[in-house]
Amino acid sequence: MKLEKKQIIELKIEKIVYGGEGLGYFNDFAVFVPMSVPGDILNVEIISLKKTYGRALIKEILTPGEERVKENRITFEDFQGCDFGMLNYESQLKYKKEMVEDVIKRIGKNTTVVTEDTLESPIKKNYRNKVIEPFSYDKGEIITGFFKRKSHDVFQVEDNILNSLLGNKVIKELKVLLNRDRVSVYDESTHKGILRHVMVRTNTFNEAMVVLIINSDKVKENIEKILLELKENIKEIKSIYVSLNNKRTNVAMGNKNVLLAGDKTLKEEINEIHFNISPNSFFQINVPQTKRLYDLAISMFGNIENKNIIDAYAGTGTIGMILSKKAKKVYSVEIVESAVKDGKNTAKENGIKNIEFICGDVNKELEILTKDEKIDSIILDPPRKGIDEESLLSISKMDIKEIIYISCNPSTFARDIEILAREGYSLEKVKPVDMFPQTSHIEVVGRLVKN
d(Cα 239, Cα 259) in Å, to the nearest integer? Answer: 8
82 noted as active-site residue: no
Stated length of the chain: 451
d(Cα 327, Cα 342) in Å, to the nearest integer? Answer: 21
Which position among 296, 408, 419, 445 bears the catalytic label? 408
**C-alpha distance from residue 394 to each of 362, 364, 423 (Å):** 10, 9, 10
Exposure of 233 in the CB half-sphere (CA atoms within 13 A): 16
SS3 232: helix
C-alpha closest to that of 86 among 156, 13, 153: 13
State the Cα angle at 442 between 438 and 446, rounded to 5°.
Answer: 150
| Buried/exposed code over 116-125 (b: 16+ C-beta within 10 A; e: otherwise) | eebbbbeeeb
SS3 64: coil
d(Cα 85, Cα 115) in Å, to the nearest integer? Answer: 24
Orientation of helix 221-233 relative to helix 165-180, angle to 10°: 140
Sheet containing strand 141-144, edge to edge, reads 141-144, 130-138, 195-202, 208-214, 237-244, 256-262
SS3 100: helix
d(Cα 243, Cα 262) in Å, to the nearest integer? Answer: 15
Q: Classify the phi-psi angles of 140: left when phi > 0, otherwise alpha if psi is within -120 to 50, otherwise beta.
A: left
SS3 31: strand
Q: Residues with catalytic annotation?
A: 408
